[in-house]
């Protein structure tokens, strides 16, 4: 499906952090493979002067989602640690870029970039009507960010060639994309973008 980028579009790059890369503590298989594709999308939006949002998991060291606190994940993306840094090859443009930290308080987790953040306000302030979502993990934070966007009234496009999932069950990512599509999310790849 061909899509023309307009002035009311924004790009959201989800959680492209070292801890989620293949040699990180909570690896998304092939999570690093999408970096060049994401960079192409970032470049398209950057060149058009459109906003690009980079969400990051940004947990305190006693975060509720960590196993030591009874959660399900190994400690990951702890604030100000190397694992929480963005992938070194991720293109983070000098302008029109916003870093959105989520999961920042000990007692709340946030799989959606909208949860407990100013992302919605920043998008609406700029007249954004449609969001393009890429990054990791398809079956967690990408899914929830896309779904969250829908519920807030945005049109949502997931960039299928620029997402990767954890797949604790082998078809988790596939199911996540299906659920999103059934709820009105569009899928697109690089060739669709005009």
Interface contacts to ligand VGL, rule CB under 6 A: 15, 57, 65, 73, 136-137, 140-141
Query: Which of Zn ion, ligand VGL, none is residue 185 near (CB under 5 to 8 Å by kind)?
Result: none
The catalytic residue among 9, 18, 19, 102 is 102
C-alpha span between 188 and 194 (Å, rounded): 11
Decide if 15 is catalytic: yes
C-alpha span between 95 and 167 (Å, rounded): 34
C-alpha span between 49 and 46 (Å, rounded): 5
Q: DSSP string of 119-174?
A: HHHHHHHTT--EEEEEEE-IIIIIHHHHHHHHHTT-EEEEEEEEEE---SSTTHHH
C-alpha span between 2 and 72 (Å, rounded): 39
Decide if 141 is catalytic: yes
Which C-beta is closer to ligand VGL: that of 44 or that of 52? 52
- Please check whether residue 55 is in contact with residue 135, taking contact to mean a CB–CB distance below 8 angstroms: yes
Query: Which of Zn ion, ligand VGL, none is residue 137 near (CB under 5 to 8 Å by kind)?
Result: ligand VGL
Residues 27-86 that bind Zn ion (CB under 5 A): 57
Which C-beta is closer to Zn ion: that of 20 or that of 46? 20
Query: Which of Zn ion, ligand VGL, none is residue 147 near (CB under 5 to 8 Å by kind)?
Result: none
| Minimum separation from the CB atom of position 85 to Zn ion (A) | 15
Decide if 102 is catalytic: yes
Q: Is 95 helix (H, G, I), strand (E, B) or coil?
A: coil
- Binding residues for Zn ion (CB under 5 A): 57
Q: Catalytic positions, please?
A: 15, 102, 141
């Amino acid at each position: 499906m061909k899509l023309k980028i307009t002035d009311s579009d924004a790009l959201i790059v989800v959680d492209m952090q070292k801890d989620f890369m293949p040699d990180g503590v909570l690896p998304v298989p092939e999570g690093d493979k999408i970096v060049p594709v994401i960079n192409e999308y970032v470049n398209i939006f950057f060149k058009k002067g459109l906003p690009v949002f980079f969400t990051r998991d940004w947990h305190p060291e006693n975060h509720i989602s960590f196993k030591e606190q009874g959660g399900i994940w190994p400690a990951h993306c702890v604030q100000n640690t190397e694992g929480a840094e963005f992938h070194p090859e991720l293109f983070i443009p000098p302008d029109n870029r916003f870093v959105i930290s989520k999961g920042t308080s000990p007692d709340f987790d946030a799989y959606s970039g909208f949860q407990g953040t100013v992302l919605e306000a920043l998008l609406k302030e700029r007249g954004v009507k449609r969001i393009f979502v890429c990054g990791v993990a398809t079956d967690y934070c990408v899914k929830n960010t896309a779904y969250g966007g829908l519920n807030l009234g945005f049109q949502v496009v997931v960039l299928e060639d620029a997402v990767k999932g954890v797949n604790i069950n082998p078809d988790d990512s596939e199911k996540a994309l299906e659920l999103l599509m059934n709820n009105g999310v569009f899928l697109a790849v690089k060739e669709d973008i005009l």
